[in-house]
Structure 1
Amino acid sequence: MTCSGNRLSRRNMLTVGAVGGLGLSLANFFEMRSAQAEIKNYDFIQAKAQSVIHIYLPGGMAHQESFDPKPYSPIEYRGELNPIKTNTGDIFSETLPKLSQLADKLAVIRSMTHGEAAHERGTHNMFTGYRPSPALTFPSMGSVVSHEYGPRNNLPPYVCVPGVPNEYASNGYLSSSYAPFSLGSDPANGGFKVLDLNLPGDVNEARFARRRSALEAVNDYFVKKDKSDNVGAMNTFYDRAYSLISSPQAREAFNIDAEPAALRDEYGRNTAGQRMLMARRLVAAGVRFVTLTYGGWDMHDNITAGMKNQMPSLDQGLSALISDLDRQGLLASTLVLVSSEFGRTPKINQTAGRDHWPKVFSVMMAGGGIKGGMIYGASNSTASEPDSDPVGPEDLATTVYHQLGIVADKELMAPGDRPIEIVDGGKIIEPLIS
């Protein structure tokens, strides 16, 4: 099987451990971090993205009131909100005035589709690229990236802001060492601090150094007595933890208070804005994959009021994120992905809302080698199904992995030495690639 012309040597990776927990504290993240899989002799795709920021909108955001308005449909389909023109001449909903002026930097997929109308199953699709299976829990994209590439600049490779949003955002069948690192609190809160990042109040730098020396002496004894790889690996775990705690540069990555007040205002002093600003700080410092969540989009009732309430913060924060990444020269190497588990029903219901609709919905991408000013695929006139170029979760995941230089049909080992492809049957969405 090939991917973008690169042939993959099958079964050339390390067997990984059993299913683990949802999230890790700083301590057990590094204690449990197993040695990185050996790099075998297979071809790598040339990576265009060095990092991913996945902005997940839980509940199912309405495509009609965001990226795919239908102004010529009857009122019971188009809803009460009006379309606005983007700077590329296309249309978004009036809920996205700032983002509409950055459309030349965005790609919107208007033909996402799958068959899962339940929140949990739709969420599984969008985090893993797999349909749910009773036999196996699949790893999230962030955990796969953690498995394939490991830490950079003494920072965890995969971070969730503010915490792990659901069980499908975690490591699945991979070792729990590839689960995300959770901040433990919300950067939008006053006095924000990352759990476990600083030394306890009664431990100064000198005491910290003495503890490390004592631990090294104990470990050295056991390394000489027991030649197993596990003992040697534990030294590496603690070294990584010490590096993060003792490195001013690593700690500074989480210091959102270091940002200028004007920039924090640009993002918005709210949940969406400050989480996105934290995500930008983390990828700039070296984190490979950041997942953040914002809002609640399960709008069965009064969708007009709901969208007017939720969207301004998203529009402001997301526009600021893209503009900020671009100013700093990071947009070309950072793939921004905005997704939700499904869309909403074509027709407004009796309580002025929209219900679950997985048959067609929209996803936004930017940066990381994705073409700007791009609309890919289309829904039909009532936004009820794809009209052209349908895209499944496996295609989206395969495209994200491709941009990161990961061969999507590479096999990892699930429990029982079962070879499982990172993504099964997905295709790269070639027109999106710059």
Structure 2
Amino acid sequence: MRCEGNPFSRRGFLAAGALGGIGLSLPELLMRQAMAEQKHYDFVEAKAKSVIHVYLPGGMAQQESFDPKPYSPLEYRGEMRTIKTNTGEVFGEAVPQLAKRADKFSVIRSMTHGEAAHERGTHNMFTGYKPSPALRYPSFGAVVSHEYGPRNNLPPYVCIPNVPNEFAGTGYLPSSYGGFALGSDPAQSGFKVRDLDLAGGVDADRFMRRKEALAAVNKSFVSATAADNVGAMNTFYERAYSLLDTPAAKEAFDIDKEDAKMRDRYGRNQAGQRLLMARRLVEAGTRLVTLTYGGWDMHANITRSFKSQMPALDTALAALFDDLTERGMMDETLVMVSSEFGRTPKINNDAGRDHWPKVFSVLMAGGGIKGGMIHGASDSTAAEPEDHPVSPADLATTMYRLLGIVADKELMAPGDRPIEIVDGGKLIEPLMV
């Protein structure tokens, strides 16, 4: 459990300064601030042990997925039909498996921000912050790695198959908190994670001698310089040694150890095998897995593109929810499916939809999230939020709270500058168990 209040936060000292005008001493100010924080937050136990963040690059259309508009004119609703869910809601026809399991997850239909460029929208959805020319913010995975570190000698933050974009990095945090990338796709024949086996001709004794020699060299470098890259490499080596020395941790990356029927159940494709690998990793101890699937920047022929890409994801997510439930992991694993923005309300002249950050949908499940709920709503043409708008900061704050991380805790940026993990986000309380 973690204390969900920071008596030394920026806003905490502002409050203390106001009280200082009535003549209280510094110890008294700090005591009152600590008591106030205790009253507001008390102790918060993490609901989720791990996160699987499924990111759909390009901007997935809300109208063809989780927020269809069947009663709007054809040029707005598009060509695709709708399907009833097991909760009585309506989804797009391309997600029949998820529609049968709508009671297992919730959908936010009122996500919103103001960034219509891919890079800027991606920054929002990986950090919870608007882009800034003055500072690069850390990704969700880097923050989780910083706050919790490794578990069971597994990397705390893993990217499948690679680090997906420049905003999935460590930002102002040391680079040692970066994501471990698999380096290849688990859907490929002969898939193998790079750097998890000893080089040819290197036995255990020789490995230990090399490890001791490198440790001596690293000690000399670290004592001579405070450069981030040197310390980061030292951390990376130590974690790599721990992984190589732990057979159970290494085995989590070996998807061939998975039952063939389970692999078939997820789907022998990118969506299926990436999600299955994510489940293996969080089950073994990884704290946050980020994976990407597909390309959702559908400026043309959106109906054909959606029908091509969505079925594999629909099958794989349904299998993931069933698998997590059967293993007793659903309540401790937070699954989040997001994209950088949505698509325009009106179909364009190329039968596609263009960028639209004003409103879009995000799916959340497990790890302290209620099932079977729709939070917020868009208007009749999916153009703007109609009620309960949710910002990237709100989403990030909620995710961190479910992990037991204090969202307004201050981390230190270069120059000893305190920066809150998330600035101004609000909990999406109706979705939380």
Q: TM-score, normalised by structure 1?
A: 0.88
Distance 1:220 1:101, change over 3 A: closer
Aligned to 1:46: 45
Structure-to-structure mapping, 1:7-406, within 5 angstroms = 7-10=5-8, 45-215=44-214, 218=216, 238-406=237-405
Distance 1:329 1:79, change over 3 A: same
Deviation at 1:10, TM superposition (A): 2.0
Q: Contact between 2:176 and 2:233, CA under 8 Å: does it hold in 1?
A: no
Deviation at 1:208, TM superposition (A): 1.5
Deviation at 1:228, TM superposition (A): 10
Aligned to 1:423: 422
Give the gaps of 5 or more residues in structure 1. 13-40
Q: Contact between 1:250 and 1:285, CA under 8 Å: does it hold in 2?
A: yes
Deviation at 1:204, TM superposition (A): 1.6
Deviation at 1:202, TM superposition (A): 1.7
CA distance in 2 between counterparts of 1:51 and 1:243 reads 20
Q: Contact between 2:121 and 2:340, CA under 8 Å: does it hold in 1?
A: yes
Letter matched to residue 141 of structure 1: F
Give the gaps of 5 or more residues in structure 2. 11-37
Q: Contact between 1:44 and 1:407, CA under 8 Å: does it hold in 2?
A: no
CA distance in 2 between counterparts of 1:321 and 1:221 reads 44
Distance 1:247 1:358, change over 3 A: same
Q: TM-score, normalised by structure 2?
A: 0.88
Aligned to 2:410: 411
CA distance in 2 between counterparts of 1:198 and 1:6 reads 41
Q: Contact between 1:409 and 1:424, CA under 8 Å: does it hold in 2?
A: yes
CA distance in 2 between counterparts of 1:183 and 1:289 reads 14
CA distance in 1 between counterparts of 2:329 and 2:173 reads 30
Letter matched to residue 173 of structure 2: L
Aligned to 1:21: none
Question: Quick one: percent identity of the two aligned structures?
Answer: 70
Q: Contact between 1:219 and 1:235, CA under 8 Å: does it hold in 2?
A: no
CA distance in 1 between counterparts of 2:155 and 2:210 reads 23
CA distance in 2 between counterparts of 1:92 and 1:60 reads 18
CA distance in 1 between counterparts of 2:219 and 2:79 reads 72
Q: Deviation string for 1:336-387 (max 9, x for gaps)? A: 0000000000011111100000000000000001000010000011111001
Higher helix share: 2
Deviation at 1:222, TM superposition (A): 6.3
CA distance in 2 between counterparts of 1:233 and 1:160 reads 18
Deviation at 1:238, TM superposition (A): 4.5
Structure 2 counterpart SS, 1:107 = strand
Distance 1:239 1:87, change over 3 A: same
Q: Contact between 1:108 and 1:362, CA under 8 Å: does it hold in 2?
A: yes
Q: Contact between 1:44 and 1:406, CA under 8 Å: does it hold in 2?
A: no
CA distance in 1 between counterparts of 2:192 and 2:407 reads 36
CA distance in 2 between counterparts of 1:152 and 1:284 reads 11
Deviation at 1:213, TM superposition (A): 4.6
Deviation at 1:240, TM superposition (A): 3.1
Q: Deviation string for 1:160-204 (max 9, x for gaps)? A: 000001000110111111111111111111111111111001212
Figure out how many residues of one structure are paired with residues of the other and give that number: 401
CA distance in 2 between counterparts of 1:159 and 1:268 reads 21
Q: Deviation string for 1:129-187 (max 9, x for gaps)? A: 00111111111011000000001101110000000010001101111111111111111
CA distance in 2 between counterparts of 1:9 and 1:411 reads 11
Deviation at 1:247, TM superposition (A): 1.2
